[in-house]
């Protein structure tokens, strides 16, 4: 497809052909979005009765903010706090640390993690993922009778 336009300079008109590529024609060109896109990422963790939501966004002042919301499931009472960072790298680092902390505390995500976030978590300096440990209640130990019997036999006396 060739489009011609005219250039008028000192009463002289010339036609200059312009070649338009195939991807700028009507069927393909409508799918391109040249607006600036805002980056934001949200993740939700859940336990039996608790939830924890993290969102990483850029505010109007070009600061990066992490909004942390936590509370009880099916309750209107909850807390929300916002932490501001000056650079994306710092905010993303702490965002990944929050994810690691939630994982270690036994929270689970209802949806799978984004592969980019998961890879970034693995690259943290101390971000080794291990399954959360469950505290086991130790039963009260009874004194071993075997030790008492062996001690009495060593003395050569049997009571």
* The predicted structure's pLDDT at residue 104: 85
* The predicted structure's pLDDT at residue 83: 92
* The predicted structure's pLDDT at residue 127: 45
3-state secondary structure at position 138: coil
Tens of pLDDT, residues 46-63? 988 999 999 999 888 888
* The predicted structure's pLDDT at residue 84: 92
Of 1 and 100, the one with more pLDDT: 100
Query: For the ranges 71-80, 118-127, 141-150, which has the lowest average pLDDT?
Result: 141-150
Alpha helices in 105-144 (DSSP H): 115-122
Tens of pLDDT, residues 58-100? 888 888 999 999 999 888 888 999 999 998 888 888 888 888 8
Q: For all residues of the chain together, what is the average pLDDT?
A: 70
* The predicted structure's pLDDT at residue 42: 84
Superfamily of domain 40-122: WGR domain (2.20.140.10)
* The predicted structure's pLDDT at residue 81: 92
Separation between Cα atoms, residue 113 and residue 126, nearest integer Å: 19
What region, left, alpha or beta, does residue 109 occupy, with left being phi > 0 and alpha being psi -120 to 50 degrees?
beta
* The predicted structure's pLDDT at residue 72: 93
Residue-range domain boundaries for the chain: 40-122
* The predicted structure's pLDDT at residue 23: 52
- Indicate the DSSP class of residue 21: -
Can you spell out the DSSP letters for the chain?
A: -EEEEEEEETTEEEEEEEE--GGGSHHHHTT---SPPPPEEEEEEE-SSEEEEEEEEE-TTS-EEEEEEEEETT-S-EEEEEEEESSHHHHHHHHHHHHHHHHHTT-B-SSPPPHHHHHHHHTSTT----PPP-PPPPPPPPPPHHHHHHHHHHHT---
> 12-19 and 40-46 as β-strands: parallel, antiparallel, unpaired?
unpaired
């Amino acid at each position: 497809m060739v489009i011609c336009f005219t250039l008028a300079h000192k009463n002289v008109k010339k036609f200059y052909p312009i070649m338009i590529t195939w991807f700028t024609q009507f069927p393909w060109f409508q799918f391109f979005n040249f607006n600036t896109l805002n980056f934001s990422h949200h993740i939700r963790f859940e336990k039996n009765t608790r939830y924890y939501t993290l969102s990483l966004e850029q505010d109007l002042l070009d600061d990066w903010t992490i909004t942390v919301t936590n509370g009880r499931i099916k309750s209107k009472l909850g807390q929300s706090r916002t932490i501001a960072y000056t650079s994306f790298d710092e905010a993303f680092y702490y965002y990944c640390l929050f994810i690691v902390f939630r994982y270690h505390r036994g929270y689970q995500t209802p949806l799978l993690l984004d592969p980019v976030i998961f890879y970034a978590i693995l690259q943290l300096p101390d971000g080794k993922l291990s399954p959360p440990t469950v505290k086991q209640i130790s039963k009260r130990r009874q004194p071993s009778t075997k030790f008492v019997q062996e001690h009495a036999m060593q003395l050569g006396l049997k009571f």
